[in-house]
Amino acid sequence: MHRIGYFLTEGFQVMALGTQSVFEFANVVAKEQVYQVTNYSLTGGVITSSIGASVNTLKATSEAQADTWMVSGIVDPLARDSTAEELNFVKTAAGRAQRVGGMCTGAFVLAEAGLLEGKRVTTHWAYAGVLKQRFPNTLVEPDSIFINDGSIWTSAGLSAAMDLVLGMVEKDLGHEIANRVARVLVMYHRRSGGQSQHSEMLNIAPKSDRVQAALEHARANLSGDLSADALAKIVHLSERQFRRVFLSETGLSPAKAVEQLRLETARNMIQRGHHSLEIIARETGFRDRRHLREVFIRKLGVSPQSLRRDAREAPTGE
């Protein structure tokens, strides 16, 4: 039996408890108790959530054992820092566990405990920039629903933590069980880690007509030459001027913006499922299907085939 420990602090986000339903119904679908879920806190006893609902917990001592630890954050991770005692427990417990999940802003707790150094992680989009700034050695990827890097799992908002836990179930019990659990829970479909929290390109708001024109040209010509030099010529600037202005107005290099645009467009085409991966790769500016896969794995942590499979599997009820 796989032991799941939920580490909660005062003011925890109540939706974190909802993810326990995924483990519960994994037991139902598997027709055996695969998972045992226990709530812990430093003090033990009753812990109150951010909305005022309370839950009873066991005391988190050095003897508390779990194969997976799930760590919930609070609504505003900037409102309070974790205590030394909390961080010590999380760090020690993680060292003994098979994996650790940081749900939503729980990623801040894991980072403060020193568990995210050099790791690919995500968190709620509203705090992704702060997480990256505070912990520069952490590889924050705001454009993901959840990320699994080794023994560390992190999710975006808490609804995305449902997808993270389903990902854990899939890793433990296989795709078929995870998909059946998603149907039982009446989730539209099980979102893979490679899906976006929102369109990152919507955040690019250039001030000048020239940079806007360059972006519009890029969107309309994804399969063409979108080098900084080529885009600079479109808007009648030197390459050096263009790079400087583009970075100043968007916060991105031209190459990074083009990569995001190509990746986002390819992902949307894959999820719609109307074209082959070879055609999608060609139309969005990737060299070939292999290059498309390499970039997806590197940037999103998931293959194009997995995204397409999950998009096709909408639940029909059981």
Domain carrying residue 29: 2-184
Cβ-contact 266, 292 below 8 angstroms = yes
Contact 164, 146 (CB under 8 A): yes
Q: Looking at the structure, do residues 135 and 258 belong to the same domain, yes or no?
A: no
For the chain, the domain total comes to 2
Residues of the chain predicted below pLDDT 50 = 188-190, 197-198, 315-318
Residues 30 and 152 in one domain: yes
Is 69 part of any domain? yes
List, for residues 229-273, the tens digit of each pLDDT value. 999 999 999 999 999 999 988 888 999 999 988 988 898 888 777
The answer on 131 and 31 residing in a single domain is: yes
pLDDT at 38: 97
- Do 216 and 180 have their domain in common? no
Residues 44 and 104 in one domain: yes
Whether residues 141 and 6 share a domain: the answer is yes
> 211 and 154: one domain?
no
The answer to the question of residue 191 being in a domain is no
pLDDT score at 190: 47
What pLDDT score does 265 carry? 87
Residue 11's CATH number: 3.40.50.880
Do 145 and 270 sit in the same domain of this protein? no
What pLDDT is stored for residue 208 in this prediction?
Answer: 82
Question: Last residue of some domain: 184, 215, 250?
Answer: 184
27 and 89, same domain (yes or no): yes
Clarify whether residues 120 and 221 are in a common domain. Answer: no
In a domain, 318, yes or no: no
Q: Would residue 213 count as lying in a domain? A: yes
In a domain, 192, yes or no: no
The pTM score is 0.66
Q: Residue 269 domain-assigned? A: yes
